Amino acid sequence: MEFDYQITGGDFSSAGFASSHLKKILKQLGIQPRLIKKIVIAMYEAEVNIVAHAWQGWIHVRIEPQAIRLEIQDQGPGIEDIERAMEDGYSTASEEVREMGFGAGMGLSNIKNNSDDLEITSTVNEGTELTIIKKFQ
Amino acid sequence: MSAQTFHHALKIQEDICIGCAHCMNVCPTGALRVVQGKAKLLAERCVDCGECYRACPVNAITVEQDDFSRVFDFSHSVLLVPELLFGQFPEDVDKSLIKEALHQLGFNEVVEVEHAAGILQQSTHEYMQGSDQERPLISAFCPAVVRLIQVKFPALVDHILLQKPPLDITALYYRKKLEDSGLDPDQIGIFYVTQCAAKIAAIKSPVGETHSYMDGVVNMDYIYNKVYATLKAQKKNGAQPPASPEQQPLSPEGILWSLTHGEADRVEGRCLAIDGIHNVMEFLEKVENEEMSGVDFLELRACDESCAGGILNPANRFLTVERLRNKARQQEQTPVKPARGIDHYRDYLHRNLALKPVAPRSIMKLDEDMTRALNKMRRVKDLMNTLPGVDCGVCGAPSCSALAEDIVNNKATLRDCIFIQRKYEQKNLQRPDESFDIMRRIWGDDKLIGNR
């Protein structure tokens, strides 16, 4: 089962749409509430990352009976230092983004904490790719 | 899934129902369908919010209540009333006259439910100080909200603050008090005047409790009419008793408890109060996504203007709110603090005020088995590309997606869709009389045969 979402950079009012949609799907599949929560948090953070940092992005969701895989790809500034970006509280978000209540620097670490596997590749001034895997067991 | 029965106070009177689907279109949990020209309730999905009751144009949806004569089965009967009952009457009708009229109906004692507000408030405070239960905590006050969380937001059951609402605490207090005074427990009858269907469901099939503390329920509109008739007769005969001051007046917090902000304004920390079931659902979505942080407590009420907007209240909800707020203000200026009987039972009530954990029972699942659920979801996705997406309800389901889910669960067929019927007729895959029969099966003979 696959789903695709397109996310527009800067569109804060729509942030959360894709994660809400995915949440409904996971509920219909009868995934345990605790797991749904983790997956939706990871998805939401990924969504907000695109909105806050990138120009545009795509999320491809693939659901198998054993696991869910989120492939997130954006066109944007990329991440210079992935290791630092993974640290709690590290953020390159602009003042405007922070004023909107985003950009607290918890995004990537939150994704990592809520997934079983996280892969990040990024090219500065081109974009970032994330693959998130969460097993259902 | 284990066999469970859910008690619902909302009943569809088939002989009155005209199958207009108004209820189906407003139900927030998709708990209604139209079959054979009548609305049909899907018991496991219903949360007793009462939106259908408001929408029905012919009053075919009723709220069941216990036979009033049950009051006389007990030698000592207590009527628990929400303060809202007094707010149904104009301000110039003194509370003591309403209480006296209730006594005349056969109740030995008439007690406001909200006397327990102080104890609950203190207990909530202590709990929040000492517990690391995940925030925001969600009040268990509104039974429709508790049920909504169980069926639609199963991930949030762990957020429910497991403390009895004031109603049950007061019932517990009164029963204990009367038993301590030497009355035979079997002869104590505790009744409750309800403003909504959800409270009845909560009493008849409690969540988080093994049994109810109530022996019966009386509906607000019923009791209002009775009291109104008594007051009118007294006035006519010049037999109106003199108004007397209240012996145990409610605290301002108690008066306001069932209104919006009644709880949220009294809990420490960052608290939000949200009323109206659609507002509640919108907010719970966000809580579930953890789109916010730092909120400590949520007061969520299914009705607009909280309990003042209960479906059984005869008075306008905004006027009721005004009256209660005025009263609370007056009470604040009354410096005398009378002894409150409930204080003597503070420790006993604190010990007994916890609810048992609330179990989720999701209505969203397509199948218990994950692989089958995935297959069904694929089919739903395909069906959604075939169905028109106008959510017209002519198939007898509230939306195209509801029909698609019914189809994959073998509860409906694609041909129930009027657009699909036209498509098939165009391609000579179905005859018009076959389409006609389908419509008849859904909407009944009345609408399709004869002259309405």
Closest partner CB to A65 (pick from B155, B289, B371): B371
What pLDDT is recorded for position B3? 39
Question: CA dist B265 to B216, B241, B280, B281, Å?
Answer: 31, 38, 18, 21
What pLDDT is recorded for position A106? 66
Alpha helices (H) in A29-125, listed in sequence order: 33-53, 82-85, 95-99, 107-113
Asked if the C-beta of A36 comes within 8 angstroms of chain B's C-beta atoms, the answer is yes
ipTM of the complex as predicted: 0.84
How many whole angstroms separate alpha carbon A83 and alpha carbon A109? 10
Res. B357: pLDDT tops 80:
yes
Res. B338: pLDDT tops 70:
no
CATH number of B1-64: 3.30.70.20
Closest partner CB to B155 (pick from A20, A37, A63): A37
Question: CA dist B67 to B74, B196, B216, Å?
Answer: 13, 17, 8
Domains of chain A plus CATH, in order, are 2-135 (3.30.565.10)
Find tokens 């306008």 and name the residue.
B316
| Chain A nearest CA to B131, separation (Å) | 20
Yes or no, beta carbons of A27 and B367 under 8 Å apart = no
Task: Report, as an integer, the average pLDDT of B408-412.
Answer: 96
For residues B319, B323, B326 and B330, what is the CA-based torsion angle, rounded to 10 degrees?
Answer: 170
Residue with the larger pLDDT of the pair A102 and A117: A117
Tokens encoding B166: 């004031």
Model confidence pLDDT, tens digit, residues A2-45: 999 999 999 999 888 999 999 999 999 999 988 998 999 999 99
Closest partner CB to A30 (pick from B285, B370, B381): B370
Note whether B83 and B209 are within 8 A (CB). Answer: no
Task: Report, as an integer, the average pLDDT of B359-379.
Answer: 93
B226: amino acid identity, one letter: K
What pLDDT is recorded for position B240? 85
Strand ranges inside A1-137, DSSP E: 2-8, 56-63, 67-75, 117-123, 127-135
What pLDDT is recorded for position B4? 52
Return the ∠ at Cα B150 (arms to B364 and A133), rounded to 5°.
55
Percentage of chain B with pLDDT > 70? 97
Closest partner CB to B366 (pick from A29, A33, A37): A29
For residues B223, B227, B230 and B234, what is the CA-based torsion angle, rounded to 10 degrees?
Answer: 180
Weakest-pLDDT range from A10-14, A126-130, B302-306: A10-14
Neighbours of B411 (CB within 10 A): 14
Counting one residue from chain A and one from chain B, the pairs whose CB atoms sit within 8 A come to 64
Note whether B284 and B149 are within 8 A (CB). Answer: yes
Asked if the C-beta of A136 comes within 8 angstroms of chain B's C-beta atoms, the answer is yes
Task: Report, as an integer, the average pLDDT of B256-267.
Answer: 97
First to last CA, chain A: 18
Sign of the torsion formed by the C-alpha atoms of B135, B141, B143 and B144: negative
Which residues of chain B does A36 touch, with a Cβ-Cβ cutoff of 8 Å?
Answer: 155
Which residues of chain A does B378 touch, with a Cβ-Cβ cutoff of 8 Å?
Answer: 1
First to last CA, chain B: 43
- Residue B178, classed as helix, strand or coil, is helix
SS (H, E, C) B273-287: EEECHHHHHHHHHHH
Yes or no, beta carbons of B365 and A19 under 8 Å apart = no
Task: Report, as an integer, the average pLDDT of B325-338.
Answer: 82
Domain boundaries, chain B: 1-64, 68-351, 365-446
Res. B332: pLDDT tops 50:
yes
- Which helix (H) or strand (E) segment holds residue B405: the answer is helix B400-408
Neighbours of B19 (CB within 10 A): 22
Rg (CA), chain B: 25
- Which helix (H) or strand (E) segment holds residue B433: the answer is helix B432-448
Strands B188-194 and B61-63: unpaired
| Chain A nearest CA to B8, separation (Å) | 24
Yes or no, beta carbons of B368 and A30 under 8 Å apart = yes
Per this entry, what is the length of chain A?
137
